[in-house]
Amino acid sequence: MENNMTTNIAIFGVGLIGGSLALCFKGKPGITVTGYAHTQQYAQEVAARGVVDQVTMSAEEAARNADFIFLCVPVGNLEEYITLLSTLPLKPGCIITDVGSTKASIAECAEKLILRDACFIGGHPMAGSERSGVAAASYLLFENAYYVLTPAQGVPEAKVEALANMLSHTRAHIVTVEPHLHDQIVGAISHLPHIIAVALVNQICGYNDDNPLYQTLAAGGFRDITRIASSDPIVWRDILLNNRKVMIPLLEDWNNHIMQFMDMLQKEDGFAIEQAFRQAGEFRNELPERRKGMIVQQYNLYLDVPDHPGIIGGIATELGQRGINLSNIQIIESREDVPGLMKLSFRNEHDLELAKELLQSIGYSVFQ
């Protein structure tokens, strides 16, 4: 890309991830962002949100002069889109990348295609939101997150550096990983937990068919630890099928760990159970807290509140007057004359810390 010339970025799929990337690039000196939308309705929504400089429903128009093309479409559609790009006239030196959570299959697909003067570098921003669509896009989404690049062998280092430099606008931490290793690691730390959460919830759902008390008593902690079971079914169908060669051995290994617990219980081996919990606790305590990861982090505060009229509105008003963005309020338990537990949810750590300081200053007992 030449100096003193506009850098053109095309984003295919201007949803949560694509829209957030667009917001990171838009308005930067010398950068123009074009969004591709596959329907008129979505093109209008993207334009109304103002996350890109221009919107088009023509894939050829979006790609024609692009220096960078970001494929921000579902994993199940990635091969379709990169195959489409291989048929279009692309700008010499164009860098194509994606944001999918599996990398080996798209890397193999790109390697088989003739991309003319372009090159493909896989990408995976390890950040997300419990919301979706362009309305949820935020320029802060990737801040302090890991953004993994998975270049295939033979991709010039200068191209990887150019993409990493462009991604510096996201304020993410760039990491380079081989595609198959990426899928193995992400399968273990993200895809496997999602399967476990879904299986656990469905197990309790089966018990609840015979006794609704399971659902009643599963509120609170059970709901929190299994929240990823509510993830988009179509998205996760595509991810898991795409990464099935990795997931099957991981599930076999998971079954071995469960069998070990069964053996501990059958033998009444309290020492082994204690050691298992201690080892898990020690490893978990060493996990970094200040960086975003694959599973969306929650920013929650809890405080004891009396069951008085107006208490919820009063707290919300206090937060609003200080410009603190509150995303959700939940009363976990509240009885007359007995303190209830209020759960406050925030979209980022900054708002959480401001709320904690404010609520403590006005006399509330706050904990995380």
Give the tens place of pLDDT for each residue, 66-82.
999 999 999 999 999 99
Residues 6 or more apart whose Cβ sits within 8 Å of residue 333: 340, 341
| pLDDT at res. 3 | 47
Return the higher-pLDDT residue of 298 and 122.
Answer: 122
Task: Give Cα separations from 363 to 57, 69, 327, 344 (angstroms).
Answer: 55, 52, 22, 16
Beta bridge partner(s), residue 244: none
Six-digit token pair at 264? 């501990």
According to the per-residue pLDDT averaged within each range, which of 111-120, 129-138, 191-200, 305-314 is highest?
191-200
Predicted confidence (pLDDT) per residue in 322-356, tens digit: 888 777 777 665 444 444 677 787 777 778 888 88
Structural domains in the chain, CATH included, are: 7-177 (3.40.50.720), 182-262 (1.10.3660.10), 299-367 (3.30.70.260)
Predicted confidence (pLDDT) per residue in 45-56, tens digit: 999 999 999 999
8 A C-beta contact, residue 160 and residue 176: yes
pLDDT band per the 50, 70, 90 thresholds, residue 357:
confident
Q: What is the mean pLDDT of the chain?
A: 87
Return the higher-pLDDT residue of 354 and 176.
Answer: 176
User: What mean pLDDT do residues 230-244 have?
Assistant: 93
| pLDDT at res. 1 | 45
